Structure 1
Amino acid sequence: MYANGPLSTEARVVVGRSTDAADYQDVPRPVAVMPKTYAAGMRLPRHFHERAQLLYATAGLMMAFAEDGTWVVPEGHALWIPPRLPHAVATHGAVSMCSAYLDPASARSFPANCRVIAVSRLLASALTALAEEPVLYAVDGRGGHLAALVLDEIGRAPATPLALPLPRDSRLRRVCLALIEDPASKADLDAWADRAGASRRTLTRGFRAETGLSFGDWRARARVIRALALTAEGRPPRAVATAVGYRSAQALRTTVARVLGPDRPPWGDAAG
Protein backbone atom coordinates (compact mmCIF):
# COMPACT_ATOMS: atom_id res chain seq x y z
CA MET A 1 0.00 0.00 0.00
CA TYR A 2 1.27 3.46 -0.90
CA ALA A 3 0.56 6.85 0.68
CA ASN A 4 -2.02 7.79 -1.92
CA GLY A 5 -3.69 4.39 -2.03
CA PRO A 6 -3.15 1.34 -4.25
CA LEU A 7 -1.22 1.84 -7.48
CA SER A 8 -2.73 1.11 -10.88
CA THR A 9 -1.42 -1.92 -12.77
CA GLU A 10 0.59 0.34 -15.10
CA ALA A 11 2.10 2.24 -12.18
CA ARG A 12 2.96 -0.94 -10.26
CA VAL A 13 5.04 -2.38 -13.08
CA VAL A 14 7.12 0.81 -13.39
CA VAL A 15 7.93 1.17 -9.67
CA GLY A 16 11.47 -0.10 -9.06
CA ARG A 17 11.99 -1.02 -12.73
CA SER A 18 14.35 0.89 -15.01
CA THR A 19 12.95 2.69 -18.04
CA ASP A 20 16.37 2.81 -19.71
CA ALA A 21 16.54 0.29 -22.56
CA ALA A 22 20.29 -0.12 -22.01
CA ASP A 23 19.59 -1.81 -18.68
CA TYR A 24 17.77 -4.69 -20.41
CA GLN A 25 20.35 -5.69 -23.02
CA ASP A 26 22.47 -7.91 -20.75
CA VAL A 27 19.77 -9.35 -18.49
CA PRO A 28 20.46 -13.12 -18.19
CA ARG A 29 16.92 -14.04 -19.17
CA PRO A 30 15.43 -14.89 -22.59
CA VAL A 31 12.87 -12.04 -22.37
CA ALA A 32 13.16 -8.75 -20.48
CA VAL A 33 10.14 -6.44 -20.37
CA MET A 34 10.18 -2.65 -19.97
CA PRO A 35 6.96 -0.58 -19.75
CA LYS A 36 7.28 3.14 -20.51
CA THR A 37 5.21 6.19 -21.43
CA TYR A 38 6.04 9.00 -23.85
CA ALA A 39 4.55 12.43 -24.44
CA ALA A 40 3.06 13.42 -27.79
CA GLY A 41 5.55 14.53 -30.41
CA MET A 42 8.52 12.66 -28.93
CA ARG A 43 11.27 11.53 -31.30
CA LEU A 44 13.94 8.98 -30.46
CA PRO A 45 16.87 9.45 -32.86
CA ARG A 46 18.30 6.52 -34.76
CA HIS A 47 19.68 3.88 -32.41
CA PHE A 48 19.88 0.11 -32.06
CA HIS A 49 19.72 -2.56 -29.37
CA GLU A 50 21.90 -5.61 -28.92
CA ARG A 51 18.73 -7.62 -28.38
CA ALA A 52 15.73 -8.04 -30.63
CA GLN A 53 12.81 -5.82 -29.60
CA LEU A 54 9.07 -6.19 -29.67
CA LEU A 55 7.77 -2.61 -29.46
CA TYR A 56 4.15 -2.92 -28.29
CA ALA A 57 1.80 0.09 -28.26
CA THR A 58 -0.59 -0.37 -25.34
CA ALA A 59 -2.07 3.08 -26.00
CA GLY A 60 -1.50 5.70 -28.69
CA LEU A 61 0.43 5.39 -31.94
CA MET A 62 4.10 5.24 -32.86
CA MET A 63 5.94 5.35 -36.16
CA ALA A 64 9.31 3.70 -36.68
CA PHE A 65 11.83 4.41 -39.43
CA ALA A 66 14.74 2.33 -40.72
CA GLU A 67 16.83 2.15 -43.87
CA ASP A 68 14.46 -0.31 -45.56
CA GLY A 69 11.07 1.00 -44.52
CA THR A 70 8.58 2.89 -42.37
CA TRP A 71 6.14 1.22 -39.99
CA VAL A 72 3.11 2.48 -38.10
CA VAL A 73 2.34 0.90 -34.72
CA PRO A 74 -1.17 1.73 -33.51
CA GLU A 75 -2.67 0.67 -30.20
CA GLY A 76 -2.94 -3.10 -29.92
CA HIS A 77 -0.09 -3.69 -32.38
CA ALA A 78 3.63 -4.26 -32.03
CA LEU A 79 6.70 -3.82 -34.19
CA TRP A 80 9.20 -6.66 -34.38
CA ILE A 81 12.75 -5.23 -34.64
CA PRO A 82 15.69 -7.61 -35.21
CA PRO A 83 18.84 -7.27 -33.10
CA ARG A 84 21.22 -4.38 -33.88
CA LEU A 85 18.93 -2.85 -36.53
CA PRO A 86 19.27 0.97 -36.52
CA HIS A 87 15.85 2.62 -36.23
CA ALA A 88 14.17 5.82 -35.08
CA VAL A 89 10.79 6.20 -33.36
CA ALA A 90 8.27 9.05 -33.20
CA THR A 91 5.06 9.30 -31.18
CA HIS A 92 1.80 10.76 -32.47
CA GLY A 93 -0.29 11.61 -29.46
CA ALA A 94 0.64 10.39 -25.97
CA VAL A 95 1.88 6.80 -26.01
CA SER A 96 2.10 3.97 -23.52
CA MET A 97 4.27 1.12 -24.67
CA CYS A 98 5.83 -2.09 -23.50
CA SER A 99 9.11 -3.29 -24.97
CA ALA A 100 10.09 -6.93 -24.78
CA TYR A 101 13.81 -7.44 -25.38
CA LEU A 102 14.70 -10.93 -26.57
CA ASP A 103 18.17 -12.41 -26.36
CA PRO A 104 19.64 -13.31 -29.77
CA ALA A 105 19.45 -17.05 -29.11
CA SER A 106 15.71 -16.87 -28.40
CA ALA A 107 15.12 -14.69 -31.49
CA ARG A 108 17.20 -16.78 -33.90
CA SER A 109 14.21 -18.33 -35.69
CA PHE A 110 12.26 -15.06 -35.94
CA PRO A 111 12.14 -12.77 -39.03
CA ALA A 112 15.30 -10.93 -40.07
CA ASN A 113 13.25 -7.87 -41.09
CA CYS A 114 10.90 -5.54 -39.24
CA ARG A 115 7.20 -6.36 -39.30
CA VAL A 116 4.07 -5.07 -37.54
CA ILE A 117 1.94 -7.70 -35.82
CA ALA A 118 -1.46 -7.58 -34.19
CA VAL A 119 -0.99 -8.40 -30.49
CA SER A 120 -3.28 -11.20 -29.38
CA ARG A 121 -5.06 -10.99 -26.03
CA LEU A 122 -2.89 -13.84 -24.81
CA LEU A 123 0.35 -12.06 -25.80
CA ALA A 124 -0.85 -8.78 -24.25
CA SER A 125 -1.73 -10.53 -20.99
CA ALA A 126 1.56 -12.43 -20.92
CA LEU A 127 3.56 -9.22 -21.42
CA THR A 128 1.63 -7.44 -18.67
CA ALA A 129 2.10 -10.35 -16.29
CA LEU A 130 5.81 -10.68 -17.09
CA ALA A 131 6.27 -6.94 -16.41
CA GLU A 132 4.92 -7.56 -12.91
CA GLU A 133 7.54 -10.27 -12.27
CA PRO A 134 11.07 -9.38 -11.12
CA VAL A 135 13.42 -8.56 -13.98
CA LEU A 136 15.47 -11.56 -12.81
CA TYR A 137 12.47 -13.88 -12.66
CA ALA A 138 12.85 -17.57 -11.91
CA VAL A 139 13.46 -19.32 -15.23
CA ASP A 140 11.76 -22.48 -13.94
CA GLY A 141 8.91 -20.55 -12.30
CA ARG A 142 6.01 -18.30 -13.34
CA GLY A 143 8.29 -15.77 -15.02
CA GLY A 144 9.98 -18.42 -17.12
CA HIS A 145 6.62 -19.85 -18.21
CA LEU A 146 5.40 -16.37 -19.16
CA ALA A 147 8.58 -15.69 -21.14
CA ALA A 148 8.11 -18.95 -23.06
CA LEU A 149 4.52 -17.97 -23.80
CA VAL A 150 5.62 -14.54 -25.06
CA LEU A 151 8.12 -16.16 -27.42
CA ASP A 152 5.54 -18.63 -28.70
CA GLU A 153 2.92 -15.93 -29.34
CA ILE A 154 5.39 -13.69 -31.17
CA GLY A 155 6.33 -16.60 -33.39
CA ARG A 156 2.69 -17.32 -34.21
CA ALA A 157 1.62 -13.72 -34.91
CA PRO A 158 0.91 -12.89 -38.57
CA ALA A 159 2.27 -9.72 -40.16
CA THR A 160 -0.11 -6.82 -40.91
CA PRO A 161 0.03 -4.38 -43.88
CA LEU A 162 1.10 -1.48 -41.63
CA ALA A 163 4.49 -1.30 -43.32
CA LEU A 164 5.89 0.88 -46.07
CA PRO A 165 8.90 -0.85 -47.67
CA LEU A 166 11.55 1.42 -49.18
CA PRO A 167 13.43 0.43 -52.38
CA ARG A 168 17.22 0.52 -52.63
CA ASP A 169 17.29 1.94 -56.17
CA SER A 170 18.15 5.63 -55.70
CA ARG A 171 15.64 6.79 -58.33
CA LEU A 172 12.75 4.88 -56.81
CA ARG A 173 13.82 5.89 -53.31
CA ARG A 174 13.66 9.59 -54.25
CA VAL A 175 10.07 9.09 -55.40
CA CYS A 176 9.15 7.26 -52.20
CA LEU A 177 10.69 9.86 -49.90
CA ALA A 178 8.93 12.65 -51.79
CA LEU A 179 5.58 10.84 -51.44
CA ILE A 180 6.16 10.31 -47.73
CA GLU A 181 6.90 14.03 -47.41
CA ASP A 182 3.82 15.03 -49.46
CA PRO A 183 1.28 12.17 -49.63
CA ALA A 184 -1.35 14.55 -51.06
CA SER A 185 0.69 15.16 -54.23
CA LYS A 186 -1.46 15.03 -57.38
CA ALA A 187 1.48 13.99 -59.62
CA ASP A 188 0.73 10.88 -61.68
CA LEU A 189 3.04 7.99 -62.51
CA ASP A 190 4.44 9.70 -65.63
CA ALA A 191 5.27 12.84 -63.66
CA TRP A 192 7.03 10.81 -60.97
CA ALA A 193 8.96 8.88 -63.64
CA ASP A 194 10.16 12.18 -65.14
CA ARG A 195 11.18 13.45 -61.72
CA ALA A 196 13.10 10.24 -61.02
CA GLY A 197 14.83 10.26 -64.39
CA ALA A 198 13.41 6.86 -65.29
CA SER A 199 10.87 5.53 -67.75
CA ARG A 200 7.34 4.73 -66.68
CA ARG A 201 8.08 1.05 -67.33
CA THR A 202 11.24 1.12 -65.21
CA LEU A 203 9.41 2.80 -62.35
CA THR A 204 6.51 0.35 -62.52
CA ARG A 205 8.71 -2.73 -62.64
CA GLY A 206 11.07 -1.38 -60.01
CA PHE A 207 8.31 -0.77 -57.49
CA ARG A 208 7.01 -4.31 -57.78
CA ALA A 209 10.47 -5.87 -57.73
CA GLU A 210 11.76 -3.93 -54.72
CA THR A 211 8.68 -3.35 -52.58
CA GLY A 212 6.28 -6.12 -53.63
CA LEU A 213 3.65 -3.45 -54.34
CA SER A 214 2.50 -1.56 -57.40
CA PHE A 215 3.17 2.18 -57.46
CA GLY A 216 -0.53 2.87 -56.82
CA ASP A 217 -0.73 0.44 -53.91
CA TRP A 218 2.47 1.82 -52.37
CA ARG A 219 1.13 5.39 -52.56
CA ALA A 220 -2.22 4.34 -51.08
CA ARG A 221 -0.44 2.65 -48.19
CA ALA A 222 1.70 5.75 -47.63
CA ARG A 223 -1.45 7.85 -47.44
CA VAL A 224 -3.13 5.48 -44.97
CA ILE A 225 -0.06 5.44 -42.75
CA ARG A 226 0.07 9.26 -42.69
CA ALA A 227 -3.68 9.32 -42.00
CA LEU A 228 -3.13 7.10 -38.97
CA ALA A 229 -0.51 9.47 -37.60
CA LEU A 230 -2.61 12.60 -38.17
CA THR A 231 -5.65 10.99 -36.59
CA ALA A 232 -3.63 10.05 -33.51
CA GLU A 233 -2.68 13.73 -33.19
CA GLY A 234 -6.37 14.63 -32.94
CA ARG A 235 -6.96 16.04 -36.44
CA PRO A 236 -10.62 15.96 -37.60
CA PRO A 237 -11.52 13.37 -40.28
CA ARG A 238 -12.06 15.83 -43.13
CA ALA A 239 -8.73 17.56 -42.45
CA VAL A 240 -6.97 14.21 -42.36
CA ALA A 241 -8.48 13.21 -45.71
CA THR A 242 -7.44 16.50 -47.33
CA ALA A 243 -3.92 16.27 -45.93
CA VAL A 244 -3.34 12.89 -47.58
CA GLY A 245 -4.90 13.72 -50.94
CA TYR A 246 -8.58 12.73 -50.72
CA ARG A 247 -11.63 14.89 -51.38
CA SER A 248 -13.64 13.41 -48.53
CA ALA A 249 -13.38 11.30 -45.41
CA GLN A 250 -15.49 8.67 -47.19
CA ALA A 251 -12.91 8.38 -49.98
CA LEU A 252 -10.19 7.87 -47.37
CA ARG A 253 -12.31 5.29 -45.58
CA THR A 254 -12.63 3.36 -48.85
CA THR A 255 -8.86 3.33 -49.28
CA VAL A 256 -8.36 2.28 -45.66
CA ALA A 257 -10.68 -0.69 -46.19
CA ARG A 258 -8.79 -1.66 -49.34
CA VAL A 259 -5.34 -1.37 -47.75
CA LEU A 260 -6.05 -2.80 -44.31
CA GLY A 261 -9.03 -5.02 -45.12
CA PRO A 262 -12.78 -4.53 -44.68
CA ASP A 263 -12.70 -4.91 -40.91
CA ARG A 264 -12.82 -1.88 -38.66
CA PRO A 265 -9.50 0.05 -38.84
CA PRO A 266 -7.30 -0.16 -35.71
CA TRP A 267 -7.95 3.51 -34.89
CA GLY A 268 -11.77 3.14 -34.98
CA ASP A 269 -13.87 5.38 -37.20
CA ALA A 270 -11.41 8.25 -37.40
CA ALA A 271 -11.13 7.95 -41.15
CA GLY A 272 -14.70 8.98 -41.60
Structure 2
Amino acid sequence: MEGKTATVEQVRIKVAQELAKRWLDPNQIKGWLKGYKGIPQEAQEELSQVIQALYAEYGLRPDLGHIVILGDRPYVTREGLLYYAHRTGKLTGISVELVEKGKGFCIVKATVITEGDKRFEAFGDASVENTNRMVSPHLIRMAETRAINRALREAFPIGLCSYEELSEEDVKGAPQKEAAVNGWSERGITQKQLSLVWKLAQEVWPDKSKEEVRELLHKLMEENYGKSSSKELTAKEASDLIDTLKAAKEAGV
Protein backbone atom coordinates (compact mmCIF):
# COMPACT_ATOMS: atom_id res chain seq x y z
CA MET A 1 0.00 0.00 0.00
CA GLU A 2 2.43 2.62 -1.31
CA GLY A 3 1.99 6.18 -0.22
CA LYS A 4 -1.03 5.31 1.87
CA THR A 5 -1.40 4.55 5.57
CA ALA A 6 -4.19 2.42 6.97
CA THR A 7 -6.49 4.09 9.46
CA VAL A 8 -7.78 2.25 12.51
CA GLU A 9 -11.21 2.32 10.84
CA GLN A 10 -9.86 0.50 7.77
CA VAL A 11 -8.15 -2.11 9.92
CA ARG A 12 -11.34 -2.50 11.97
CA ILE A 13 -13.39 -3.08 8.81
CA LYS A 14 -10.91 -5.69 7.61
CA VAL A 15 -11.01 -7.42 11.00
CA ALA A 16 -14.83 -7.42 10.97
CA GLN A 17 -14.87 -8.96 7.50
CA GLU A 18 -12.45 -11.74 8.46
CA LEU A 19 -14.31 -12.50 11.70
CA ALA A 20 -17.69 -12.54 9.95
CA LYS A 21 -16.36 -15.16 7.54
CA ARG A 22 -15.37 -17.33 10.48
CA TRP A 23 -18.11 -16.87 13.08
CA LEU A 24 -21.16 -16.17 10.93
CA ASP A 25 -20.56 -19.23 8.76
CA PRO A 26 -22.22 -22.37 10.23
CA ASN A 27 -19.77 -24.64 8.40
CA GLN A 28 -16.77 -22.85 9.93
CA ILE A 29 -18.36 -23.12 13.37
CA LYS A 30 -19.04 -26.83 12.92
CA GLY A 31 -15.38 -27.25 12.02
CA TRP A 32 -14.43 -25.59 15.30
CA LEU A 33 -16.87 -27.82 17.21
CA LYS A 34 -15.06 -30.91 15.91
CA GLY A 35 -12.32 -30.09 18.39
CA TYR A 36 -14.69 -31.21 21.14
CA LYS A 37 -14.98 -34.93 21.70
CA GLY A 38 -18.31 -36.54 22.51
CA ILE A 39 -20.79 -33.90 21.33
CA PRO A 40 -23.77 -35.73 19.77
CA GLN A 41 -24.13 -35.08 16.05
CA GLU A 42 -27.71 -33.86 16.47
CA ALA A 43 -26.55 -31.23 18.99
CA GLN A 44 -23.92 -29.74 16.68
CA GLU A 45 -26.45 -28.05 14.40
CA GLU A 46 -28.16 -26.26 17.29
CA LEU A 47 -24.84 -25.36 18.91
CA SER A 48 -23.51 -23.83 15.71
CA GLN A 49 -26.61 -21.62 15.50
CA VAL A 50 -26.22 -20.54 19.14
CA ILE A 51 -22.53 -19.69 18.67
CA GLN A 52 -23.36 -17.78 15.50
CA ALA A 53 -25.98 -15.73 17.39
CA LEU A 54 -23.64 -15.07 20.33
CA TYR A 55 -21.04 -13.63 17.98
CA ALA A 56 -23.56 -11.62 15.95
CA GLU A 57 -25.23 -10.06 19.00
CA TYR A 58 -22.48 -9.85 21.62
CA GLY A 59 -19.22 -10.32 19.70
CA LEU A 60 -18.35 -13.38 21.82
CA ARG A 61 -15.72 -15.61 20.22
CA PRO A 62 -15.00 -19.23 21.17
CA ASP A 63 -11.43 -19.03 19.83
CA LEU A 64 -10.61 -16.36 22.43
CA GLY A 65 -12.09 -18.41 25.26
CA HIS A 66 -15.24 -16.27 25.57
CA ILE A 67 -17.38 -19.41 25.26
CA VAL A 68 -16.75 -23.05 26.14
CA ILE A 69 -18.85 -26.12 25.48
CA LEU A 70 -19.68 -28.71 28.14
CA GLY A 71 -21.85 -31.62 27.08
CA ASP A 72 -24.07 -30.05 24.46
CA ARG A 73 -24.40 -26.64 26.14
CA PRO A 74 -22.43 -23.39 25.74
CA TYR A 75 -21.17 -21.46 28.78
CA VAL A 76 -19.75 -17.95 28.88
CA THR A 77 -16.40 -17.46 30.64
CA ARG A 78 -15.13 -14.62 32.80
CA GLU A 79 -13.17 -13.36 29.80
CA GLY A 80 -16.34 -13.35 27.71
CA LEU A 81 -18.38 -11.47 30.29
CA LEU A 82 -15.69 -8.82 30.77
CA TYR A 83 -15.24 -8.49 27.02
CA TYR A 84 -18.94 -7.89 26.43
CA ALA A 85 -19.22 -5.50 29.39
CA HIS A 86 -16.34 -3.39 28.05
CA ARG A 87 -17.72 -3.61 24.52
CA THR A 88 -20.99 -1.96 25.57
CA GLY A 89 -19.08 1.05 26.88
CA LYS A 90 -21.33 1.10 29.96
CA LEU A 91 -19.08 -0.57 32.54
CA THR A 92 -17.53 1.99 34.89
CA GLY A 93 -16.22 -0.14 37.73
CA ILE A 94 -16.07 -3.43 39.65
CA SER A 95 -15.41 -3.81 43.37
CA VAL A 96 -15.14 -6.91 45.55
CA GLU A 97 -15.44 -7.52 49.28
CA LEU A 98 -14.52 -10.62 51.29
CA VAL A 99 -17.67 -11.39 53.31
CA GLU A 100 -16.67 -14.56 55.12
CA LYS A 101 -13.69 -16.90 55.26
CA GLY A 102 -13.60 -20.16 57.13
CA LYS A 103 -11.71 -23.42 56.99
CA GLY A 104 -12.07 -24.70 53.44
CA PHE A 105 -14.60 -22.11 52.23
CA CYS A 106 -15.10 -18.40 51.59
CA ILE A 107 -17.78 -15.98 50.37
CA VAL A 108 -17.14 -12.82 48.35
CA LYS A 109 -19.48 -9.99 47.32
CA ALA A 110 -18.96 -8.25 43.97
CA THR A 111 -20.47 -4.96 42.83
CA VAL A 112 -20.58 -4.05 39.15
CA ILE A 113 -21.09 -0.34 38.47
CA THR A 114 -22.47 0.89 35.16
CA GLU A 115 -23.08 4.36 33.72
CA GLY A 116 -25.49 6.44 35.77
CA ASP A 117 -23.99 4.84 38.90
CA LYS A 118 -26.26 1.79 38.62
CA ARG A 119 -25.05 -1.00 40.89
CA PHE A 120 -25.47 -4.75 40.54
CA GLU A 121 -24.44 -6.91 43.50
CA ALA A 122 -23.91 -10.66 43.68
CA PHE A 123 -22.23 -13.19 45.94
CA GLY A 124 -19.83 -15.95 45.04
CA ASP A 125 -18.70 -18.86 47.17
CA ALA A 126 -15.94 -21.40 46.83
CA SER A 127 -15.08 -24.41 48.95
CA VAL A 128 -12.99 -27.54 48.73
CA GLU A 129 -16.22 -29.38 47.90
CA ASN A 130 -17.18 -27.32 44.82
CA THR A 131 -13.75 -26.71 43.26
CA ASN A 132 -11.12 -29.04 41.86
CA ARG A 133 -7.75 -29.75 43.45
CA MET A 134 -5.93 -27.22 41.27
CA VAL A 135 -8.26 -24.39 42.28
CA SER A 136 -8.95 -25.27 45.92
CA PRO A 137 -5.70 -23.65 47.21
CA HIS A 138 -7.01 -20.36 45.73
CA LEU A 139 -10.55 -20.25 47.14
CA ILE A 140 -10.74 -16.48 47.59
CA ARG A 141 -9.79 -15.89 43.98
CA MET A 142 -12.35 -18.42 42.74
CA ALA A 143 -15.12 -17.01 44.96
CA GLU A 144 -14.24 -13.54 43.67
CA THR A 145 -14.45 -14.74 40.05
CA ARG A 146 -17.84 -16.36 40.65
CA ALA A 147 -19.19 -13.25 42.38
CA ILE A 148 -17.98 -10.96 39.57
CA ASN A 149 -19.43 -13.29 36.94
CA ARG A 150 -22.85 -13.29 38.61
CA ALA A 151 -22.85 -9.52 39.00
CA LEU A 152 -21.79 -9.07 35.36
CA ARG A 153 -24.57 -11.40 34.21
CA GLU A 154 -27.04 -9.27 36.15
CA ALA A 155 -25.73 -6.04 34.64
CA PHE A 156 -25.18 -7.39 31.12
CA PRO A 157 -27.51 -10.37 30.64
CA ILE A 158 -26.76 -12.69 27.73
CA GLY A 159 -28.77 -15.72 28.77
CA LEU A 160 -25.89 -18.08 29.57
CA CYS A 161 -24.56 -19.49 32.83
CA SER A 162 -20.85 -18.85 33.34
CA TYR A 163 -18.25 -21.60 33.20
CA GLU A 164 -16.46 -20.60 36.41
CA GLU A 165 -19.68 -20.88 38.43
CA LEU A 166 -19.92 -24.61 37.73
CA SER A 167 -18.89 -27.09 40.40
CA GLU A 168 -16.33 -29.83 39.80
CA GLU A 169 -19.18 -32.34 39.48
CA ASP A 170 -20.79 -30.28 36.71
CA VAL A 171 -17.57 -30.23 34.71
CA LYS A 172 -16.41 -33.78 35.35
CA GLY A 173 -16.93 -36.13 32.43
CA ALA A 174 -18.31 -33.49 30.05
CA PRO A 175 -16.75 -33.27 26.57
CA GLN A 176 -14.16 -30.51 26.40
CA LYS A 177 -11.76 -29.19 23.83
CA GLU A 178 -8.28 -30.61 24.08
CA ALA A 179 -6.81 -27.22 25.03
CA ALA A 180 -7.40 -25.79 28.51
CA VAL A 181 -10.67 -23.87 28.73
CA ASN A 182 -10.42 -22.29 32.16
CA GLY A 183 -10.32 -18.68 30.96
CA TRP A 184 -9.59 -17.00 34.32
CA SER A 185 -6.32 -18.91 34.76
CA GLU A 186 -5.09 -18.51 31.16
CA ARG A 187 -1.50 -17.35 30.80
CA GLY A 188 -0.74 -13.82 29.69
CA ILE A 189 0.94 -12.44 26.59
CA THR A 190 4.58 -13.45 26.11
CA GLN A 191 7.48 -11.06 25.54
CA LYS A 192 7.93 -12.48 22.04
CA GLN A 193 4.27 -11.73 21.25
CA LEU A 194 4.58 -8.20 22.66
CA SER A 195 7.54 -7.49 20.38
CA LEU A 196 5.78 -8.92 17.34
CA VAL A 197 2.58 -6.94 17.98
CA TRP A 198 4.56 -3.70 18.11
CA LYS A 199 6.61 -4.58 15.00
CA LEU A 200 3.49 -5.41 12.96
CA ALA A 201 1.64 -2.31 14.15
CA GLN A 202 4.50 -0.12 12.92
CA GLU A 203 4.38 -1.91 9.55
CA VAL A 204 0.60 -1.42 9.24
CA TRP A 205 0.97 2.32 10.03
CA PRO A 206 4.46 3.14 8.64
CA ASP A 207 3.82 6.87 8.26
CA LYS A 208 2.70 7.39 11.85
CA SER A 209 4.84 8.40 14.82
CA LYS A 210 5.41 5.88 17.61
CA GLU A 211 2.91 7.72 19.78
CA GLU A 212 0.28 7.66 17.02
CA VAL A 213 0.88 3.95 16.35
CA ARG A 214 0.48 3.24 20.06
CA GLU A 215 -2.80 5.17 20.15
CA LEU A 216 -4.18 3.38 17.06
CA LEU A 217 -3.15 0.01 18.48
CA HIS A 218 -4.85 0.77 21.79
CA LYS A 219 -8.08 1.70 19.99
CA LEU A 220 -7.97 -1.58 18.08
CA MET A 221 -7.46 -3.56 21.30
CA GLU A 222 -10.25 -1.75 23.12
CA GLU A 223 -12.71 -2.46 20.32
CA ASN A 224 -11.78 -6.13 19.90
CA TYR A 225 -10.77 -7.24 23.40
CA GLY A 226 -11.98 -4.54 25.80
CA LYS A 227 -8.37 -3.85 26.84
CA SER A 228 -6.30 -0.70 26.39
CA SER A 229 -2.82 -2.16 26.85
CA SER A 230 -1.13 -5.04 25.04
CA LYS A 231 0.28 -6.18 28.40
CA GLU A 232 -3.28 -6.95 29.55
CA LEU A 233 -3.89 -9.40 26.69
CA THR A 234 -3.94 -13.15 27.18
CA ALA A 235 -1.63 -15.25 25.00
CA LYS A 236 -4.68 -16.34 23.01
CA GLU A 237 -5.82 -12.75 22.42
CA ALA A 238 -2.28 -11.73 21.48
CA SER A 239 -2.12 -14.52 18.91
CA ASP A 240 -5.40 -13.32 17.43
CA LEU A 241 -4.19 -9.70 17.33
CA ILE A 242 -1.01 -10.79 15.56
CA ASP A 243 -3.08 -12.62 12.93
CA THR A 244 -5.28 -9.53 12.56
CA LEU A 245 -2.32 -7.20 12.01
CA LYS A 246 -0.73 -9.65 9.56
CA ALA A 247 -3.99 -9.83 7.58
CA ALA A 248 -4.27 -6.02 7.53
CA LYS A 249 -0.68 -5.69 6.35
CA GLU A 250 -1.05 -8.31 3.60
CA ALA A 251 -4.38 -6.89 2.43
CA GLY A 252 -2.90 -3.40 2.28
CA VAL A 253 -5.96 -1.88 3.93
TM over 0.5: no
Name the structure where strand makes up a greater proportion of residues. Answer: 1
Give the number of the structure with larger relative contact order, counting CA–CA contacts within 8 Å between residues 6 or more apart. 2
Name the structure where helix makes up a greater proportion of residues. Answer: 2
Q: TM-score, length-normalised on structure 1? A: 0.27
Q: TM-score, length-normalised on structure 2? A: 0.28
